[in-house]
Amino acid sequence: MKLNVTAFKELMKNQDLTQGELVEKLQNLGIKISLDAVKFWTRNENPSTPSLQIIFALSEILMVKPDVLISEGKIVGYIDVKKVPIIGISSCGSPITNDYQSENEFAYYRGEFWSKDLYCVIACGDSMSPDIEDGDEVICDPKRKPQHGDIVEYKIYNERAIKIYVEDTDANIIQLIPYNPSPEFKIRTIRLDDYEANDLTIAVVVAVNKLRFQNRKIRLKMIGRT
């Protein structure tokens, strides 16, 4: 995968953004980069390729989906990046709505557990913070068997959520537990011999794309300065 130089230049021009200003914005997002590095992206001979993290940061700064900024190929130093369909929203403590339009939208996956069955949901809430935060893209594998301690995305009846998968074979139950329980978002216990188990589907979370680089609320919470 390579930077789509034409799209990149056009977006920079539309926002009246100089390369120096872009460097400053990237640095504000915690990305250490020089002006020369940005210039190398668009030079005529032997252009360099931004990392996937930088592609996501650029998409936030330029207010476009990451796929607008990339063309087919490989990112140097990375596993081939695959497109994964976004199928909707999954709760991480907050109620989910039915108005998310996900048709023809994709997330990107570059991990080792690729399969054609992977799908993506958008996290809604912070009950799984800091691993998963509100707005993150969560890549899930519905064919992978969950193991004790995995983060999973599950669906039962009209409930769709992301929690920790816990097995208790002696009690013949599984529990789905959020990092940060609340009165509205509790531990879900399911008996394996109960009729509810027949309506339960579970997918193992295999990757999380963190797109909200400026999540100041989370950072301040983690250092006790909220």
Concatenating the DSSP letter of every residue in 111-158 gives SS---TT-EEEEEESSTTTTTS-TT-EEEEETTSPP-TT-EEEEEETT
Whether the per-residue pLDDT at 220 is higher than 80: the answer is no
109 and 201 both lie in a single domain? yes
103 and 193 both lie in a single domain? yes
Whether the per-residue pLDDT at 221 is higher than 70: the answer is no
Residue keyed to tokens 């990092």: 179
161 and 104 both lie in a single domain? yes
More confident residue, 100 or 164: 164
Whether the per-residue pLDDT at 47 is higher than 80: the answer is no
Give the domain range for residue 33: 2-71
User: What pLDDT shows up at residue 162?
Assistant: 97
Q: What is the pLDDT of residues 122-163, one digit of tens each?
A: 999 989 988 998 889 999 999 999 999 999 999 998 899 999
Whether the per-residue pLDDT at 111 is higher than 80: the answer is no
Domain boundary at 34, 50, 71, which? 71
Torsion of CA 125, 129, 130, 135, to 10 degrees: -10
CATH number of the domain within which 16 lies: 1.10.260.40
Of 9-18, 22-31, 94-103, 205-214, the least confident: 94-103
Residues 42, 33: Cα–Cα separation, whole Å: 15
45 and 125 both lie in a single domain? no
113 and 25 both lie in a single domain? no
Residue 215 included in any domain: no
Residue 77 included in any domain: no
**Residue 110 in contact with residue 79, Cβ under 8 Å?**
yes
Residue 220 included in any domain: no
Which distant-in-sequence residues (6+ apart) come within 8 Å of 181 by Cβ? 127, 187
66 and 102 both lie in a single domain? no
User: What pLDDT shows up at residue 74?
Assistant: 46
Residue 99 included in any domain: yes
Residue 225 included in any domain: no
87 and 185 both lie in a single domain? yes
3-class SS letters over 171-196: CCEEEEECCCCECCECCEEEECCCHH
Domain boundary at 71, 90, 110, which? 71
The total number of structural domains in the chain stands at 2
Whether the per-residue pLDDT at 76 is higher than 50: the answer is no
Residues 185, 122: Cα–Cα separation, whole Å: 17
User: What pLDDT shows up at residue 201?
Assistant: 96
More confident residue, 78 or 127: 127
User: What pLDDT shows up at residue 222?
Assistant: 55
% the chain with pLDDT above 70: 82
User: What pLDDT shows up at residue 120?
Assistant: 95
93 and 190 both lie in a single domain? yes
Cβ burial of 32 (10 Å; 0-12, 13-18, 19+) is: exposed
User: What pLDDT shows up at residue 188?
Assistant: 94
88 and 143 both lie in a single domain? yes
90 and 186 both lie in a single domain? yes
36 and 86 both lie in a single domain? no
186 and 108 both lie in a single domain? yes
Q: Is the pTM of this model over 0.75?
A: no
Best mean pLDDT range from 25-39, 76-90, 91-105, 201-215: 25-39
Residue 197 included in any domain: yes
Q: Alpha-carbon torsion 109, 111, 115, 117, what sign?
A: negative
Residue 216 included in any domain: no
Residue 76 included in any domain: no
| pLDDT bracket for residue 46 (50, 70, 90) | low
The DSSP call for residue 64 is: S
CATH number of the domain within which 121 lies: 2.10.109.10
% the chain with pLDDT above 90: 38
Whether the per-residue pLDDT at 181 is higher than 50: the answer is yes
More confident residue, 132 or 63: 132
